[in-house]
Structure 1
Amino acid sequence: MSSADFLVIFAYFLILLLITLHVTKQGATTSDFFSGHHDLPWWALCLSLVATETSTLTFISVPGVGYTNGMVFVGLACGYLIGRIIVAVWFLPLYAQGHFVSVYQQLGQRFGCPVQQLASGVFLLTRLIGEGVRLATGMLPLVWMMTQSGLLLDQSTLLIGILAVTAVYTLTGGLRAVIWSDTLQLAIYGLGAFLCVYLFASHPVNFGWLQAQMSGKFSLFHSGHGTFFNGAFTPSAALVGGTILSLASHGTDQLMVQRVLAARTLGAARMALIGSAIVVGVLFFLLSLVGIELWMRNQGASLATFGLHTPDELFPYAIVFDLPAGLRGLLIAGVLSATMGSLSATLNAMATASMTDFSVFRTAVVKMLAYLGVTGRSDVFVARTITIFWGVAIFLATLFMAGSAQSAVIVGLSIAGWSWGPVLGAFLYGMVFKQAQGRDVAKGLVGALVLMAFVLVGAPRLGVHIAFPWLVPLGLILLFLLAGLSRFVLGVHLAPHQNHLEEHTCHDTTR
């Protein structure tokens, strides 16, 4: 890398440090750590949502998809927009009325503590494995780009460095620091994507926009690819599957909903949520356009022509060999930003869910600190300790996943589809059926998770493949069927107030 590249990367970390110091000066209370004291502007929450959902893999993969399949990710973003509008209209008022810190408190209020803790436990497991996969696979292109640019770093050293820097600002500033750092990080890789589009468009090519249009690169959807359920970018998969996927990710997953719960008002929360769908659509458009421009520049040549084995290798290759000094550093900083943005959000969300939904976490930490002779510490200190615990757990999960990168990618694509559908089903079941019982939902949730595990692991061995947009709808349907079957077959006829008394609510340790 040139001195200009190093200067850009240094400037990124310097600005990140200044943000952390500014937020830390304002003090850190429990409300700050978990909800940013509910005084963050809607546009910052909007950008944080986008930064959280776009990991390193997204940033480097979408240009590769654009190279081979065109604008299909923009079509998927149309489904995301529909889903987030539904969440804003239907889900957010329920959360605002309850003044929740964890989204799973709504399940606790509706069905009792067991369902709340079951859903939250599934979230923690999903995030632990998912973030391990993100980091394990995301480190590969980062290490390659660093090595090709002349900076020799092995994967473990880079991982420890990223975890350490991310943990510092997450621990010191809580959600407030996470939100503002996310805003910076999205600005960096969003600007990098825009400059790439401008740079590649300014270079004349003989193989241009007309050829790209004739090759279907600007089509938002694909049609006629296989059967109905194994096409990932058909109109039905993008619009129906994408809508339901967005209902789950931004309506029932603590990682995303935590940002919306931190808004000043219900109106601000709605603006942040709906705005995030528009921003992510623009980001997908820019990254896809980068891929299309590279396709035109290479005159439609296959990736194998350049010694590339997968579409994911395209953008890192272009960053290292096709970009000028300075812009190369900005894009490498962008890849680092995408990694750190999703990681910091995960750490804070996991600590919040642990403290809010499981009093046993706080009790265990307090006892451990007392055993070490540390007493009289605040809940913020306890939350930071839990954050460190999850940071170590994610580090170990990443090392485990790095041992088998191919299976890690498969797990990474599957883990969200395994849990999001059943958990979304639990929320919707309680909204649709006023007489729904907690024990039926709990049984349905466990059963749906077991069946989804079979679908993801066993079905491909039988030759049955289901595209990722359809996994969430499938899990949702299974929850409704199994919860309804439990109520019908087992004959559970408790009145709602009897069920509420029997299934005590969880004790919230954050208030």
Structure 2
Amino acid sequence: MTPYLALSILLIYFIILIAISIKTSKGADTNSFFTANKSVPWYLVAFGMIGTSLSGVTFISVPGAVGTKAFSYFQMVLGYTVGYFFIATVLMPLYYKLNLISIYQYLKTRFGFWSYKTGSAFFLLSRTLGSAVRLYIAAKVLQIAIYDPLGVPFEVSVVITIMLIWVYTYKGGIKTIVITDTLQTVFLITAVALTIYLISKELNFGFGEMITSIKDSSYSEIFFFDGGWADSKNFFKQFISGAFIAIVMTGLDQDLMQKNLTCKNIGEAQKNMFWFTITMVFVTFMFMCLGALMYIYMNQKGLAIPALTDDLYPNLALKIFSNPSLGFSGLLVSITFLIGITAATYASSDSALTALTTAFCVDFMNIEDKGEAQRKKIKNYVHIGFSVLFMIVIFIFNALNSTDVISATFQIASYTYGPLLGLFAFGIYTKYEVKDKFVPMICVLSPILTYALVQLIETYGNYKFGFENLLLNGLITMIGLLLFRKNTIK
């Protein structure tokens, strides 16, 4: 695939998104930007959330990880279903009852001013770092496939990309995002399904043969009960972690919950979460089947498997299948990969940009107390500010040029969600009031203490932490809140 063809595909893609934005933003005000006037059909929210939940990192990493971890990730996905059930039955009724725009307004109602600001600040930190990293990884893939051959510097391509995201989100906000994410989810799922079909065709597999080959391969093992808690693939470790990851990274995350709050009522929002869960499980399983099929293809053709599993899908799609001898089928794999990773990345990034703008405007700029003209002005400035912040973080990652920095950033993000877990759990499951002014101190110290304990246990206890640090972090936050509770009960 030539860089000019790839660039043309990318331009057509963004033209479609901008056209949707123009259509959906007609007559839009700030209420449309923040809540879509609570008029979005539940099925659009459910389907569009798939694209938001799956980033470009997932698009690349899940299929690649099958080579070393088989289908063990599916154990975590099963845990997600428990977390999503909790969100639908506990958190969402609470958010709808309080008629929230920012979900962190609950902390103000429950504990007070400083708890509210602290919860929102931790979200802003987590989402800014996480979304910028996801966008950075996809931008590097697009740089190799498109911009390097054209001589366009990385910094220029990043500025262009973020400006395009800003253009189609700045006016319509969440009202536009729900529609564009639905379209991008279609692209993402189509890319995976079509790649599976084309690789199967190259292997001369029918549907039944494909299923049998995946099932009989060493890659398809799902459940791992041996090895104890020290094993990163242990079923109970993965399942429990999955449940809590879903709760904090969906239920306590303004980005994902803002979409749910656009539904007309709690009944439709719960219906949305139910169908989202089913679709999410199915799509993730497709990703793992794709991974197994790619490894089978590489082995049968005698091709070298990349040392880094994340390089498998890009290498296969953009290099191996770009060989002219494979003809149109090979070109189609390259095109679908490009569209798929673009859809997965920008469905996550545009949604995060809108959620960050909403949280900052509502939680720190008190936008609800202002007139429409002033609200729109503040919203636009904040939207631009977070767009620029995304660029700065991406440029920093590029300057450091280290995958270890990226891994460390995701690890930091897992720590920053711990205080949110502790705050919401303490608020929902206890009746204690807290000394609100001490909450920022508790939430800052909790990740630090968690990190120290993790290092101590891993050094002397022969135990390797995965996402359990999230649970430990939440527990330490709850203990801190308990120590600084008031004598009164709410």
3-state SS of the aligned residue for 1:411?
helix
CA apart distance, 1:454? 3.6
1:14-163 to 2 correspondences below 5 Å: 14-25=15-26, 27-146=27-146, 151-163=150-162
User: 2 CA distance for matches of 1:288 and 1:146?
Assistant: 27
In structure 1, what is the equivalent of residue 357 of structure 2?
A: 351
User: 1 CA distance for matches of 2:95 and 2:314?
Assistant: 41
Asked whether the 8 Å contact 1:5–1:330 carries over to 2, the reply is: no
In structure 2, what is the equivalent of residue 446 of structure 1?
A: 444
| The one of 415, 420, 425 aligned to 2:422 | 425
User: 2 CA distance for matches of 1:493 and 1:336?
Assistant: 53
CA apart distance, 1:450? 2.4
3-state SS of the aligned residue for 1:312?
helix
In structure 1, what is the equivalent of residue 187 of structure 2?
A: 188
User: 2 CA distance for matches of 1:145 and 1:153?
Assistant: 12
Task: Indicate yes or no: 2:346 matched with 1:340.
Answer: yes
In structure 2, what is the equivalent of residue 479 of structure 1?
A: 477
Asked whether the 8 Å contact 2:458–2:465 carries over to 1, the reply is: no
TM-score (norm 1): 0.85
In structure 2, what is the equivalent of residue 12 of structure 1?
A: 13
Asked whether the 8 Å contact 2:305–2:312 carries over to 1, the reply is: no
Read off the aligned partner of 1:493 and give its amino acid letter. N
Q: Encode CA deviations 1:257-285: one digit per residue, 9 max, x unaligned.
A: 11111111101111222322222222211
The structure-2 alpha-carbon separation of the partners of 1:10 and 1:350, relative to structure 1 and needing over 3 Å to count, comes to closer
1:283-432 to 2 correspondences below 5 Å: 283-299=283-299, 306=304, 308-320=306-318, 321-322=320-321, 324-359=330-365, 377-404=373-400, 405-432=402-429
Asked whether the 8 Å contact 1:229–1:470 carries over to 2, the reply is: no
1:158-237 to 2 correspondences below 5 Å: 158-204=157-203, 212-225=214-227, 228-229=229-230, 231=232, 233-237=233-237
Q: Encode CA deviations 1:73-109: one digit per residue, 9 max, x unaligned.
A: 3332111111001110111111101100001001111
CA RMSD of aligned residues (A): 2.9
User: 2 CA distance for matches of 1:409 and 1:112?
Assistant: 35
Q: Encode CA deviations 1:271-318: one digit per residue, 9 max, x unaligned.
A: 22232222222221112111111111122799xx62623000000011
User: 2 CA distance for matches of 1:357 and 1:270?
Assistant: 25
The structure-2 alpha-carbon separation of the partners of 1:450 and 1:361, relative to structure 1 and needing over 3 Å to count, comes to farther
In structure 1, what is the equivalent of residue 466 of structure 2?
A: 468
The structure-2 alpha-carbon separation of the partners of 1:230 and 1:218, relative to structure 1 and needing over 3 Å to count, comes to closer
Asked whether the 8 Å contact 2:79–2:239 carries over to 1, the reply is: yes
User: 2 CA distance for matches of 1:329 and 1:461?
Assistant: 46
User: 1 CA distance for matches of 2:335 and 2:461?
Assistant: 44
In structure 2, what is the equivalent of residue 372 of structure 1?
A: none
User: 1 CA distance for matches of 2:231 and 2:157?
Assistant: 37
CA apart distance, 1:173? 1.3
Read off the aligned partner of 1:389 and give its amino acid letter. G
Q: Which runs of 5+ in 1 are unaligned?
A: 367-374, 497-511
Q: Encode CA deviations 1:421-452: one digit per residue, 9 max, x unaligned.
A: 22111111111111232537555433323223
Read off the aligned partner of 1:228 and give its amino acid letter. W
User: 1 CA distance for matches of 2:452 and 2:388?
Assistant: 30
The structure-2 alpha-carbon separation of the partners of 1:401 and 1:294, relative to structure 1 and needing over 3 Å to count, comes to same
Asked whether the 8 Å contact 1:248–1:472 carries over to 2, the reply is: no
TM-score (norm 2): 0.89
Asked whether the 8 Å contact 2:362–2:368 carries over to 1, the reply is: no
CA apart distance, 1:332? 0.6
Read off the aligned partner of 1:445 and give its amino acid letter. C
The structure-2 alpha-carbon separation of the partners of 1:181 and 1:464, relative to structure 1 and needing over 3 Å to count, comes to farther
Asked whether the 8 Å contact 1:401–1:408 carries over to 2, the reply is: yes
Q: Encode CA deviations 1:172-196: one digit per residue, 9 max, x unaligned.
A: 2111111111111111111010001
The structure-2 alpha-carbon separation of the partners of 1:204 and 1:341, relative to structure 1 and needing over 3 Å to count, comes to closer
Asked whether the 8 Å contact 2:25–2:175 carries over to 1, the reply is: no
Number of aligned positions between the proteins? 476
The structure-2 alpha-carbon separation of the partners of 1:31 and 1:73, relative to structure 1 and needing over 3 Å to count, comes to same
Q: Identify the range of structure 1 (78-87 vs 413-422) with the bigger mean alpha-carbon deviation.
A: 413-422
CA apart distance, 1:453? 4.3
The structure-2 alpha-carbon separation of the partners of 1:399 and 1:457, relative to structure 1 and needing over 3 Å to count, comes to farther
Asked whether the 8 Å contact 2:241–2:467 carries over to 1, the reply is: yes
User: 2 CA distance for matches of 1:71 and 1:199?
Assistant: 22
1:234-313 to 2 correspondences below 5 Å: 234-299=234-299, 306=304, 308-313=306-311
3-state SS of the aligned residue for 1:403?
helix
Q: Which runs of 5+ in 2 are unaligned?
A: 322-328
Q: Identify the range of structure 1 (112-121 vs 398-407) with the bigger mean alpha-carbon deviation.
A: 398-407
User: 1 CA distance for matches of 2:24 and 2:190?
Assistant: 24
Q: Encode CA deviations 1:149-184: one digit per residue, 9 max, x unaligned.
A: x55543222211210110111102111111111111
3-state SS of the aligned residue for 1:493?
strand
